[in-house]
Amino acid sequence: MPPIHRTPHPRRAGDNAFLAFLRRGLPESRLFPVSLLLLALAALLGPNRQLRSDNFVFYLPASRTLLQLETIEGTKYLPVLPILNTVGKVGGLQEKKDSLRIWFGMVQVELRPDDVKVRLDKDIVNLAQPVRVSNGQWMVPVDFLITVLPRLTHETVEYQEGTNRIFIGDVKPGSFTVRLDPLPSGARLTVQFTDKVTVRTASSNGKWVLFLGDRPIEPVEDAYHFQNPYVNDLEFDDQDGVAKLLLSPTSTGLNFFPVQAEDGKILLADVLKVPAVIAQVASPQATSPPAAPATTSGAPALPGEESPAAPPGPPLPVVVLDAGHGGAETGGRSRDGVWEKDLVAQFVARVRLALLGTNKYRIVLTRTGDVDTSLEQRALAANLAGANYFLSFHAGNLGTASRRIAVFSFHPPTPPASSQPLSPSALAPWARVQEAHLDRSRRLALALQQRLALLSGVEVDLPAGAPVRALRSVDAPAIAIEVGRLAIDTDATALTEPAFQQQVAASVVEALATFEKGGT
Amino acid sequence: MSLRARTLLLLLLVVLAVAGFYLRSLAKRIFIEPAQHAEEAARAKLSQFALQSKRGPSQTAILYFPSLDGGNLLPENRSLIWAESDVDRVRQVVLALAEGSHQGLSRVLPSSTTVRAVFLSPDGTAYVDLANDVLNEFPSGIQTETLAIYSLVDSITMNIPSVKRVQFLIQGQEVETLDGHADLTAAFDPDPSRINSGP
């Protein structure tokens, strides 16, 4: 059906009301210089957005587009017309005071201000937050991207909640894991990429910048914070459409020696408190000359060379959260269409936020978005990150109860031949790594089971051993948490309730705290 | 050509076309379809033979079926006329479990389960090769997969003493997991602790 233009003065999708006002109030010939003047003023007076801004990045197979985010009452919003013009072409629109109709492809989209309902022809899709009109622009909350957009474009959409980037269509972003190890006079940052990356380094505002090339990257975390005397944190930034890592040292006078290995899949970067000449000898493989962080006027206040900003202390424990399945590997399914892969991703998102809220843990996710990640990759991510705890989330048929939780530690199919259990410090075959942690894994399972048992309306089984493949090669205390009942003959409503998921997340936080204190 | 001759020619062409289609379908039924199904049919026949063994007296076997509510295995007595060889007995136990519980316990395997082959190694490892239809309607999950595995392993090892452990294959291949959760890359020792023998 051809799009129908019903507005008396059709306008180009994406124009805002302010420019429309200028168009009405000024002759066309004067509009251009006035716009230029306003843009120049905005550039001069606006905040410095060289490395960070409130942009949202759309990664498409052949391009990427930045859209400005606006926060309205604590919720992130994006302008709807630029979104649609980014992923396709708006055929026409009709704007009234209380509604906006857009013709996109064969679908008519209707929005109303302060209404959570979006009408797609005769269907209605509910957004998490209402549509807003801000400065003449129709704004939609970010969840529009995952609830409405796939129905309009019929493309796969990969979006990790809370992030400012989305991958649409046949875009396969790479990712990476990070670990920081102490050195005698410094620290070594190891970044393991999923694919080959050509890293280019620079320094800016007291930080080292590692540009990661043109390939789209979806980080497991946007920021890593370290309790290390030499390195404060590592941030991922792609807000200007260019993927990069920003490494913040704790003080000036430190030297930085990045070197790539494994055909570009690994970046080793030493941060050393030694003269550059000595460092070069110590690190003959370094390909880039040392670049001390610049101390420009925009640099953060840094303490003196002799006293590191962060007191020496143990690094934050790393909790690896593993959302089972993903992508084509959907796992189980309920009668009302809830897939195991999606349900466990919700649990992991809540547990992640609850743990981050304590400021006591560094969180690593084994998968972000709806992607198929092999069991080996999950264990590899955990082991490379130096996991202290590994929690794998699953859902399944646990009997007749609508809400039931079972906690499992690893049970080897065949007991170890040796009567002596493997010690955590011993070198073990990859397939038997978890056997060195069985006792601590069992105690962790018990600690969580005891916390979960305090929840009302939830049946909780005693911890059990099971040959869970996802735990087998994890070099840390590891448990699997299965929630039920998720079965094809039952609705999963009881499991998708946010309050229940939040209770489980809080129990995980309490159980880890108890376990760290040595209790079970 | 006269009208009559043209009519006869047309009729002849129609008859030839119909005959051609018939011969094609006949050849397909005779030469192609049996070849595709011969292997599975032979296996099904073998399985049926294993279950309907008439040699020897009827004996009571104990099968262990999952209890999802209890998270354990419950025993159920079943009269079986044991086959002579241990390999066939393994097949009998698997197919008896696939037949389902007579007391309303949870199902381990779909009734359509096909045992492709069973091998018994000198060290007492039984290799049970199942067709991939074992995953039809299989309830995915850690608990369900774990109980299904130990239902098979405990039922086999406790009824056939020469079998010490069981290694599962699917379609003749070693697979990573049963259905995304339970590790199938190693042989399983029996685990009597999963059996609830109480009242």
Average pLDDT over residues A191-201: 84
Question: Is the Cβ pair B183, A413 closer than 8 Å?
Answer: yes
> Which tens digit of pLDDT belongs to each residue from B128-154?
999 988 887 788 899 999 999 999 999
- Report DSSP letters for A12-65, one per residue: -TT--HHHHHHHHHS-HHHHHHHHHHHHHHHHHHS---SS--SEEEEEETTEEE
A279, pLDDT greater than 70: no
Question: Is the Cβ pair A466, B182 closer than 8 Å?
Answer: yes
**pLDDT of amino acid A293:** 33
Cβ proximity of A256 and A292 under 8 Å: yes
Under an 8 Å CB criterion, which residues of A touch B? Answer: 324-325, 329, 331-332, 340, 375, 394-401, 406, 408, 411-415, 431, 461, 464, 466-470, 472, 480, 482, 484, 486-488
Q: Which of A329, A400, A415 is the closest to B189 by Cβ?
A: A415
CA neighbor of B90 nearest in space, from B147, B10, B168 = B168
A502, pLDDT greater than 90: yes
Name the region of A136 (left: φ>0; alpha: ψ -120 to 50; beta: rest): left
Q: Where are the beta strands (DSSP E) in A356-498?
A: 362-365, 389-395, 404-410, 459-460, 464-466, 478-484
What ipTM was estimated for this complex?
Answer: 0.77
Query: How do the domains of chain B map onto residue ranges?
Result: 1-38, 58-194
Q: Mean pLDDT in chain A?
A: 80
**In 3-state terms, what secondary structure has residue A125?**
strand
Q: Can you give the three-state secondary structure of B24-71, one letter per residue?
A: HHHHHHHHHHHHHHHHHHHHHHHHHHHHCCCCCCEEEEEEEEEECCCC
Cβ proximity of A341 and A370 under 8 Å: yes
Identify all chain A residues contacting B73, using CB atoms and an 8 Å cutoff: none
Identify all chain A residues contacting B187, using CB atoms and an 8 Å cutoff: 413-414
CA neighbor of B170 nearest in space, from B90, B119, B94, B114 = B114
CA neighbor of A184 nearest in space, from A282, A251, A290, A309 = A282
CA of A458: how far to CAs of A322, A363, A392, A462, A484, in Å? 22, 27, 19, 13, 10
Question: Is the Cβ pair B139, A375 closer than 8 Å?
Answer: no
Identify which has the larger pLDDT, A284 or B7: B7
Length of chain B, in residues: 199
Q: In the 8-state DSSP scheme, what is residue A433?
A: G
Q: Which domains are seen in chain A, by residue range?
A: 48-168 (3.30.457.10), 176-282 (2.60.40.3500), 318-516 (3.40.630.40)
Average pLDDT over residues B80-93: 93
Question: Is the Cβ pair A414, B189 closer than 8 Å?
Answer: yes
Cβ proximity of A57 and A66 under 8 Å: yes
Structure tokens, A172: 């396969």
Lowest mean pLDDT across A17-31, A144-158, A205-219, B67-81: A17-31
> Which tens digit of pLDDT belongs to each residue from B25-66?
877 766 655 544 555 555 555 555 555 555 667 889 999 999
At A103, which amino acid appears?
W
Which of A414, A433, A473, A486 best probes binding to B when mutated, by most B CB atoms within 10 angstroms? A414
> Which tens digit of pLDDT belongs to each residue from A40-69?
554 444 433 333 458 999 999 888 899 988
Most confident of A123-132, A162-171, A291-300, A463-472: A463-472
Name the region of B57 (left: φ>0; alpha: ψ -120 to 50; beta: rest): beta
pLDDT band with cut points at 50, 70 and 90 for residue A420:
low
A304, pLDDT greater than 60: no
**Between A and B, how many residue pairs show a Cβ–Cβ distance under 8 A?**
93
List alpha helices for A132-270, DSSP H.
Answer: 144-147, 149-153
**pLDDT of amino acid B37:** 52
Instruction: For residue A485, say if its preceding peptide bond is cis, omega within 30 degrees of 0.
Output: yes
CA–centroid distance for A218 within its chain: 7
Which are the contacts of B7, defined by CB distance < 8 A and separation ≥ 6? Answer: none
Query: How far is Cα A20 from Cα A11, in angstroms, rounded to an integer?
Result: 9
A98, pLDDT greater than 80: yes
Share of chain A above pLDDT 70, in %: 79
pLDDT band with cut points at 50, 70 and 90 for residue A369:
confident
Query: How far is Cα B68 from Cα B62, in angstroms, rounded to an integer?
Result: 19
pLDDT band with cut points at 50, 70 and 90 for residue A472:
very high
Length of chain A, in residues: 520
Q: Where are the beta strands (DSSP E) in A219-323?
A: 223-225, 231-237, 244-249, 255-261, 266-272, 318-323
Structure tokens, B67: 């209890």
> Which tens digit of pLDDT belongs to each residue from B93-128?
999 999 999 998 888 888 888 899 999 999 999 999
A430, pLDDT greater than 90: no
| B136 and chain A in contact, CB less than 8 A | no
Query: How far is Cα A320 from Cα B189, in angstroms, rounded to an integer?
Result: 30
Q: Which of B67, B139, B183 is the closest to A397 by Cβ?
A: B139
Lowest mean pLDDT across A149-158, A279-288, B174-183: A279-288
Identify which has the larger pLDDT, B162 or A187: B162
**pLDDT of amino acid A345:** 93
pLDDT band with cut points at 50, 70 and 90 for residue B181:
very high
CA of A494: how far to CAs of A3, A127, A395, A403, B15, in Å? 43, 21, 12, 7, 66
Which of A469, A474, A479 best probes binding to B when mutated, by most B CB atoms within 10 angstroms? A469
Identify which has the larger pLDDT, A327 or A10: A327
Query: How far is Cα A219 from Cα A411, in angstroms, rounded to an integer?
Result: 32
Structure tokens, A316: 């934050």
Question: Is the Cβ pair B187, A413 closer than 8 Å?
Answer: yes
Query: How far is Cα B31 from Cα B29, in angstroms, rounded to an integer?
Result: 6
